[in-house]
Chains A and B, each alone.
Chain A
Amino acid sequence: GEDVEQSLFLSVREGDSSVINCTYTDSSSTYLYWYKQEPGAGLQLLTYIFSNMDMKQDQRLTVLLNKKDKHLSLRIADTQTGDSAIYFCAESKWNTGNQFYFGTGTSLTVIP
């Protein structure tokens, strides 16, 4: 079955860049996503990348995809205290009706 893994914790200083990593096992994944979950809140879609892309940039967010190594990363430039949250990567395949498989989540702590 699908297996999506992330490191559990990451701490960075305010103003530095954060890089959150994710590995997955299913090479037939169609889309890969990054979601943010703040304490006591729901999921917020940050960005997604189609599997035939290598990189996608959206303001402070940069997603890198290494399909050969099945490695996905999210870089947050100029990290702010408001970025402190849990970040989930997720993958889906269109032919499964967009059923999602989530990673374990990375808790990002931004130190002022």
Chain B
Amino acid sequence: GAVVSQHPSRVICKSGTSVKIECRSLDFQATTMFWYRQFPKQSLMLMATSNEGSKATYEQGVEKDKFLINHASLTLSTLTVTSAHPEDSSFYICSARDQGRGLGNTIYFGEGSWLTVV
């Protein structure tokens, strides 16, 4: 079946540095990908919608200059957390829409990436 892969699955970075998380659709093309963030013991909140070949659409309250999203190809979207701080430590997960399938089970989630900023 369709698979969405995220890399890295876990990353530790120093405060002030930037870290990039990749989201790949492995056997389908995805013009739209979504990035979510999950704070400890809380639900997943949509951060932004990543559109291939155009600018991402950010949810209210999400800083676009801090969370840079690039969707340069139909199989890859990247999220870069710039100048990371400890409060950015979180679980980041992407999803990709397989537009070639019917409605319903067309969204696939990556395995998620655990970011710890020290």
Contacts and interface: CB of A to CB of B under 8 A. Distances in A.
Interface of A: 30-31, 35, 40-43, 45, 48, 50, 88, 92, 94, 97-105
Interface residues of B, number: 24
Contacts, number: 54
Nearest to A43: B109
Interface string B86-118: 000000010101000001111101111010000
A99 B46 contact: yes
Interface of B: 6, 32, 34, 36, 41-46, 49, 93, 95, 97, 103-107, 109-112, 114
B111 A100 contact: no
A99 to B, nearest CB: 6
B114 A43 contact: no
A48 to B, nearest CB: 6
A98 B111 CA distance: 18
